[in-house]
């Protein structure tokens, strides 16, 4: 297996790779569901078969990362070992088993003049992805794009360059063995910042660009792109404890939303407690959080009701901790809670704990976020939990897709009309 891009084609620029992807997209768009599933099966097998090469390349990245001092949690995200590679292969097989969204007739009718009109789901064409040093995203996005009939152009973080180079080569090789153009999977990692720029400026070549990573990365991609972008990710997630919130629900939902997996975007970051419930709820909720090792950053009212609370500053309300930290504030009314959310939320997920149906329904109606919950943990905002089988990401924009995205969100539609000579009077 060669790790060069493709020995038969002299490829020199990121633009060339975009062009190759666009040509290959014509092929992937017409693959049958069975062919796409077989291709993904071949990729999964190839990942396991080439685990040693992948681990060796990953070791280079890890060594470089340690020299560069990139930090422990980044190193952990970067690491690939045999079990993780097996997990990656399983994820690819799970994606292969998902229903193919392409070809679905979304709606249709016969026009009064007899033209038979159908709106059918089609692949976007070429999906671009810009992400950080998580080599699993390389495989994940490529598999999701291929399952939905798209070609893909990848730009991963430079810290994972060696790992991604081998992963892309393994996947391309697997495609070729299945008789599918390997050009359907392209990487522009080798071109550094020029690769990212080519993706963001690739009008006519990149049909949709998905940034995955930090708020800074997403901000850059949204600002610099002239191709359509789906924003994913950042979650400054709120839980509101209403006056009527039962103590057990309040405690269990807040703890679960913060602690069950603190590093992900649907983890809670701020708790807003209605003043009328503060004395009853703050002490047990703070105690439960602290019992799980969480540092509570509270306003004065919270500090006066529970020990061990760190004073919160304005910055805390805007912070997506992604760690065992949470902000807590007492608010006078539900209106104040809604105002706070309007000001600080990233529009990802918010939840209210209440037994008052008026407050629950008002919260559901008025909070302008991708997912709004009453009496459930914010951790449910997840493609798997929503029954999509896999998740492309969680969109925090309003165009095209909002909330957890499944395979259908990686497709577009087109209208087909079949007539018999009809013209417009």
Instruction: Please report whether residue 412 would count as binding a second copy according to CB under 8 A.
Output: yes
**335 touches a second copy by CB under 8 A:** no
* Distance (Å) of CA 198 to CA 132, 270, 361: 17, 38, 46
387 counts as binding a second copy under rule CB under 8 A: yes
CA distance 385 to 389: 8
Determine which residue in the list 158, 244, 295, 397 makes contact with a second copy, applying CB under 8 A.
Answer: 397
Closer of 61 and 409 to a second copy (Cβ): 409
Residue in the structure block whose two tokens are 């070429």: 126
State yes or no: residue 386 binds a second copy (CB under 8 A).
yes
Alpha-helix residue ranges (DSSP H) falling in 50-148: 51-68, 72-78, 82-96, 135-147
Instruction: Report how many residues bind a second copy under the rule CB under 8 A.
Output: 69
Pairing relationship of beta strands 325-331 and 295-298 according to DSSP bridges: parallel
The CA-based angle 40-41-47, given to 5 degrees, is: 85
Residue 306 · residue 280 · CB < 8 Å: no
CB-CB contact of 381 with 349 (8 Å) = yes
Q: Which one of the spans 168-176, 201-209, 289-297, 319-327 is the region binding a second copy (CB under 8 A)?
A: 201-209
Note whether 230 binds a second copy by CB under 8 A. Answer: yes
Query: Residue 207 interacts with a second copy (CB under 8 A)?
Result: yes
203 makes contact with a second copy (CB under 8 A): yes
Using the rule CB under 8 A, which residue among 89, 377, 390, 392 binds a second copy? Answer: 377
Considering the complex, what minimum distance in angstroms separates the CB of residue 81 from a second copy?
A: 26
By C-alpha distance, which of 292, 263, 348 is closest to 74?
263
In the complex, the smallest distance separating the C-beta of residue 119 from a second copy, rounded to whole angstroms, is 8
**Any contact of residue 371 with a second copy (CB under 8 A)?**
yes
**3-state class (DSSP) for residue 34:** helix
The residue count for the chain? 425
Question: Among 99, 192, 216, 417, which residue sits at the site for a second copy (rule: CB under 8 A)?
Answer: 417
C-alpha distances in angstroms, 99 versus 145, 197, 268, 392? 13, 34, 32, 15
Distance in Å, CB of 67 to a second copy, minimum: 37
Where on the chain is the footprint of a second copy (CB under 8 A)? 26, 29-30, 109, 111, 115, 117, 119, 122, 124-125, 203, 207-208, 222-223, 226, 228-230, 246, 248-249, 252-253, 255-257, 260, 360, 364-366, 368-377, 379-381, 385-387, 397-400, 402-404, 412-424
């Amino acid at each position: 297996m060669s790790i060069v891009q493709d020995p038969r084609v002299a490829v020199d620029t990121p633009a060339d790779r975009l062009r190759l992807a666009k040509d290959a997209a014509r092929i992937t768009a017409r693959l049958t569901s069975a062919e796409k599933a077989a291709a993904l099966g071949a990729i999964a097998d190839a990942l396991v078969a080439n685990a040693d090469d992948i681990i060796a390349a990953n070791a280079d990245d890890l060594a470089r990362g340690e020299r560069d001092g990139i930090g422990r949690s980044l190193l952990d995200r970067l690491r690939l070992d045999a079990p993780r590679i097996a997990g990656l292969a399983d994820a690819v097989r799970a994606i292969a088993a998902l229903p193919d969204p392409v070809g679905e007739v979304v709606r249709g009718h016969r026009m009064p003049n007899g033209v038979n009109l159908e709106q059918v789901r089609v692949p976007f064409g070429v999906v671009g992805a810009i992400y950080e040093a998580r080599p699993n995203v390389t495989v994940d996005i490529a598999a999701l794009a291929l399952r939905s009939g798209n070609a893909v152009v990848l730009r991963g973080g430079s810290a994972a360059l060696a790992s991604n180079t081998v992963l892309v080569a393994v996947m391309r090789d697997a495609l070729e063995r299945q008789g599918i153009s390997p050009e359907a999977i392209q990487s522009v990692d080798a071109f550094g910042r020029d690769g990212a720029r080519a993706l963001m400026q690739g009008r006519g070549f990149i049909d949709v660009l998905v940034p995955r990573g930090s708020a800074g990365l997403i901000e850059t991609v949204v600002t610099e792109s002239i191709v359509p972008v789906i924003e994913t990710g950042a979650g400054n997630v709120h839980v509101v404890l209403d006056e009527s919130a039962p103590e057990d629900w309040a405690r269990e939902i807040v703890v679960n939303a913060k602690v069950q997996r603190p590093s992900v975007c649907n983890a809670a970051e701020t708790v807003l407690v209605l003043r009328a419930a503060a004395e009853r709820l703050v002490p047990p909720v703070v105690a439960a959080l602290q019992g799980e090792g969480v540092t509570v950053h509270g306003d004065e009212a919270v500090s006066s009701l529970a020990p061990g609370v760190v004073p919160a500053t304005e910055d805390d309300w805007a912070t997506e901790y992604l760690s065992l930290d949470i902000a807590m504030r007492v608010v006078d009314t539900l209106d104040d809670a809604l105002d706070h959310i309007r000001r600080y939320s990233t529009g990802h997920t918010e939840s209210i704990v209440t037994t008052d149906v008026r407050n629950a329904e008002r919260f559901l109606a008025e909070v302008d976020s991708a997912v709004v919950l009453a009496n459930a943990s914010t951790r449910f905002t997840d493609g798997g939990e929503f029954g999509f089988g896999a998740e492309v990401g969680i969109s925090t924009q309003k165009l095209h897709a909002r909330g957890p995205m499944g395979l259908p969100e990686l497709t577009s539609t087109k209208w087909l009309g079949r007539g018999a000579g009809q013209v417009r009077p």
